[in-house]
Amino acid sequence: MARTIRLVRQSDGAVICQGARVARSFAERLAGLALRASMLPEDGLWLLPCNGVHTALMRFSIDVVALDKDLRVLAIHTSVRPWRLLPPRPGWHSTLELPAGAARRSGLALRDRLSAEPAP
């Protein structure tokens, strides 16, 4: 899988995230977005696997999208502020972190199924 991917809603082809960095190793997932000053509107971070997240050491709020193994949206947590914890949940296989408000702007909804493809 590419290091940067685009996530698209299967039902209509809408782009949910133009350029999500894929974090697969423990170190990449642990570091996440910590200490970054901000995210660009088209940015994202896909933590794979990941069934819960923290926003320790973060400087900005994010949207957190919980995905199952089939990339179906299980939960959407909007504008999660720094120093918060979203504990592990059953079925939660990976996590997409987006800039705050991006989930709403893209029209992302529960049960949407996403596809991952190489970023252009």
Residue with tokens 């900005």: 60
CATH code, 45: 2.60.120.1140
Decide if 110 contacts 65 (C-beta within 8 A). Answer: no
Under the banding of pLDDT at 50, 70 and 90, the label for residue 119 is confident
HSE-CB of 38 using CA atoms within 13 angstroms? 3
> Which residue range is the domain that position 19 belongs to?
4-118
Mean per-residue pLDDT, 19-28: 91
Count of domains observed in the chain:
1
In this prediction, residue 120 carries a pLDDT of 79
For the chain, give the percent of residues with pLDDT over 90: 81
Residue range 43-69, pLDDT digits in tens: 999 999 999 999 999 999 999 999 999
Residue range 86-104, pLDDT digits in tens: 999 999 999 999 999 999 9
